[in-house]
Amino acid sequence: MGNKQTIFTDEQLDAYQDCTFFTRKEILRLHGRYHEMAPNVVPMDYTKDPDVKLPMQLIINMPELKENPFKERIVESFSEDGEGSLSFNDFVDMFSVLSEMAPRELKAIYAFKIYDFNTDNFICKSDLEQTLNKLTREELTAEEITLVCEKVIEEADMDGDGKLGFADFENMISKAPDFLSTFHIRI
Amino acid sequence: VGNLASMSTNGSLTFISFFSFALQSFRRFGNTLSEYFHLLWFWHRALKIIGANFGTSVLSYFIFLKWLLTFNIFSFLINFSFIIIPQFVAAEPNNLSFTGLELLTGAGYFQQTVLYYGFYTNATIHKIENGPSYNMQLAYIFTVGLYFVICFFTLLFSMAKSFCKNFMDLQTYSGNASKILCTWDFNISNEKAVKLKQKNLSTQIKVQNAGAAMLVLPIVASLLNAFIPFFYSWLGCLERYQTPGYHVYVTIIRNIILKISIVGILCYYWVNVVAESESQCWETLVGQDIYRLVLVDFIFCLLGSFFGEFLRRIIGTTFCVSLGLPEFDIGRNVLDLIYAQTLTWIGILFSPLLPGIQFISFSIVFYVKKVSLMMNCQPPRKVWKTAQMTTSFMFLLFFPSFVGVLSVIGVTVWRLKPSEECGPFRGLSSMYAAVSEWIKTLENHTASKWVVWIYHNLITSVLFFFILSVLAFGKNCLRHSHSSLKTKNYKDLESVVLLQIIGILLNTRQQAHEGNIDLNLLVNFVFRIPILAGSRTGLASHQVSTNC
């Protein structure tokens, strides 16, 4: 349709449109953002699917993520190797899940991953303590933190195993109507 | 119903796979279309900056404003295409002179322009000999009527979606778990705003742990006389940290009552005094009144920003530093928007250009509020339940506002006598008479008998509209609710539910036609929908293709 871009083939752009919540123009814009983080490393020609990954240090310096207390966990949850380096596909995936059109169920899956610091598929007490520290900038004393974490587990733990599984987390999310609008980053 | 269900299952599966293919192609087409609207990029950037610095709650005001802008631009476009352009073709020359004062009063030169009802011809426009003719009376009433019907269903759908997403199946507890894991605003990327939020959260937790109840609102003392009933009913279900929220609710209710009274008194005055007066062209007079109201409201909105935010910031930073920066008053601002939109909706019938004017005024308000926000305000400290407040505002837009407008328009179109000497409905006994007379002429042509049938059996059938509205609300609610039941074969359930609803509808229609309408039947029907909804899964409607 008159577009002169040579970054992606038409099939690639269509595939991106179908698998994410972005339009063609937004995907090209995302590529521009990805490229400007490391212009020497990221090629302008993606038609051959180059295997390029950007390290976490670069990604968490993006203005959208820089001040977010959970920036490292967000990037780790979307990186395939778990260490925080993102390929372009991971990058697009990340912003797609965080966009306003992603459904609640999808966001809940990734929110759970983000708050699960030790990646054991449960949000246990130590995960909650780390979350709370990040949320309050470590201004609370150790007793206050323990008290709040115990209250959280008491309120949300349905199956009584002392930690929050995905079902408990989802149940809690379904009672929070603001979750969809707050778990959202505009790119 | 069992056989019917299994028969429909196979049919519905192929239908649904075709439907999802159609949906995918439609989505791709929609994406291509939206890329050509460069304006969308402007909104996106503005909203991003506001959200990044002030968070989702303040952002919801600007999103609401943008939503109202689409109502107005749509109205302007259809009015322009179907009423204003034909009128330009058939216009009489304007003999009045233009002095600058007309911009403020709306009278004088503007009276003989397309701005007001009075200028529109009641003739059937023939520009080409033996060519097609254009009936201005029918065009006027159908354009305005169609716009309101579309508004009605748009509002209904949005309310259903919003209500069922945010209110159903919620015992909203604002306990610790929710606060820690569900409320961090990922939108905010401004360093100071983030630090402020973190500080608020730690203060809240400290206070909560210390056991302070904080049940007494400073402002309740001054509102006690007027709002004791409200206060006591809320006291009964107070939650610990939500007390600042109820202060907001009380203030909003007071504002609402004030604005409803103003609009109500004005409408009463227009319908009973101005319309019955012997003046030459009462519709144009009403139109001018509304134009002036809209203009003054716009000026006050800008002044409100100037005094409430700019001057307040100056005072808060130089004279009285303990006050600090002001916060953006979301409630008051949204109510102002709803009031302005209500005025516009009332005015469409009397001044077809009004939505265009309101579009420009809302655009200026968006820009001014955004600049004022960035320059003068600090991020909000109060907790603001965005999703639920947005739903409540949408309800407010529908219930007192839109329904009130529909009643006023209804009275005007059905009961009031249009003026004899001006406008497209001059000489008729009521504006609606144009339609009923047209139907009468159609009855004489056998080719258009189906139009007459639709008119008599559907459009004039109140029951039909009631059932349609309930159906629309219920179906849209089903799509967006969150039932924790997930069944694999939800697609089958959906077709079964739909068949049941259609069956009930046909049955009710039949019974009503035979004069057997039973209140029990209707009530039964109305309450079956939520039960049917409960058996449906809550999976999101987004279809993702299998090769991802």
Which pLDDT tens digit goes with each residue over B479-529? 776 554 344 344 555 555 566 666 666 665 666 555 554 545 555 555 555
Nearest CA in chain A to B21: A18
Distance between CA atoms of residues A121 and A114, nearest Å: 10
Does B341 or B99 have the greater pLDDT score? B341
Model pLDDT, residue B426: 85
Q: How many other CB atoms are there within 10 angstroms of residue B537's CB atom?
A: 19
What average pLDDT does this structure show over B391-407? 84
Size of interface A-B (CB pairs under 8 A): 161
- Residue B231 predicted with pLDDT over 50: no
pLDDT digits (tens, 9 = 90+) for B143-176: 999 999 999 999 988 888 888 777 655 555 556 7
B367, with CB counted inside 10 A (0-12, 13-18, 19+), is: exposed
Mean pLDDT of B391-396: 82
Q: What is the mean pLDDT of residues B188-216?
A: 73
Higher pLDDT, A35 or B387: A35
Mean residue pLDDT across chain A: 89
Please state the rounded mean pLDDT for residues A91-102: 93
Task: Please compute the mean of the pLDDT values over residues B336-354 and round it to a whole number.
Answer: 91
The answer, for A144 touching chain B at a CB cutoff of 8 Å, is: yes
- Residue of A136, A138, A166, A180 for testing the chain B interface, max B β-carbons within 10 Å: A136
Measured N-to-C along each axis, helices A104-115 and A88-97 cross at an angle, to the nearest 10 degrees, of 110
Q: Which alpha helices (DSSP H) does B444-548 contain, by range?
A: 449-454, 462-480, 490-513, 519-534
Q: Given a cut of 70, is residue B347 above it in pLDDT?
A: yes
pLDDT value at residue B533: 45
Q: In the predicted model, what is the mean pLDDT of residues B208-215?
A: 51
Q: Mark yes or no for CB contact A176/B175 under 8 Å.
A: no
Residue-wise pLDDT tens digits, A27-67: 999 999 999 999 999 989 889 888 999 999 999 999 999 99
For residues B34-49, b (16+ Cβ closer than 10 Å) or e, as one string? ebeeeeeeeeeeebbb
* Closest chain B residue to the Cα of A153, Cα to Cα: B177
The average confidence (pLDDT) of chain B is: 75
pLDDT at A187 over 60: yes
Selected residue of B35, B48, B176, B481 to mutate for chain A interface (largest A Cβ count, 10 A): B176
Tell me the mean pLDDT in the region B386-403: 82
Interface check for A29 against chain B (CB to CB < 8 A): the answer is no
**Which residue has better confidence, B464 or B361?**
B361
- A window 76-135, beta carbon within 8 A of B: 98, 101, 103-106, 111, 115, 123, 128, 131-132, 135
Q: Which residue of B has its CA nearest to A127?
A: B181
Contact of B247 with chain A, judged by CB distance below 8 Å, is answered with no
User: What was the pLDDT predicted at B497?
Assistant: 57
Q: What is the pLDDT of residue B419?
A: 86
CA distance B95 to A180: 58
Residue A74 token pair:
């967000």
Q: Which residues pair with A86 in a beta bridge?
A: A54
> Count of CB atoms within 10 A of residue B119's CB?
21
Q: What is the pTM of this model?
A: 0.69
Asked if pLDDT for residue B536 goes beyond 50, the answer is no
CB-nearest to B35 from A23, A68, A105 is A23
Residue that wins the pLDDT comparison between B545 and B13: B13
Confidence of residue B216 (pLDDT cuts 50, 70, 90): very low
Q: Specify the amino acid at residue A99.
A: S
The whole-angstrom distance between residue A79's C-alpha and the CA centroid of its chain comes to: 9
How large is the average pLDDT for residues B358-364?
95
Q: Which residue has the higher pLDDT, B545 or B249?
A: B249
Identify which has the larger pLDDT, A24 or B257. Answer: A24
Å between B392 CA and nearest CA of chain A: 13
Q: In B252-276, which positions are buried (b, 16+ CB within 10 angstroms) versus exposed (e)?
A: beebbeebbeebeebbeebbeeebe
Interface contact flag, A144 B206, Cβ < 8 Å: yes
The pLDDT of residue B140 is above 60: yes
More confident residue, B28 or A93: A93
Q: Tell me the C-alpha distance between A115 and B205, whole Å.
A: 19
Predicted confidence band at B109 (pLDDT cuts at 50, 70, 90)? confident
- Lowest mean per-residue pLDDT among A77-81, B315-319, B524-528: B524-528
List, in sequence order, every residue forming a beta bridge with B378; answer none if it has no partner: B327
Give A135's contacts in chain B (Cβ within 8 Å): 180, 184, 198, 201
Beta bridge partners of A54: A86
Mean pLDDT of all residues in B180-184: 83
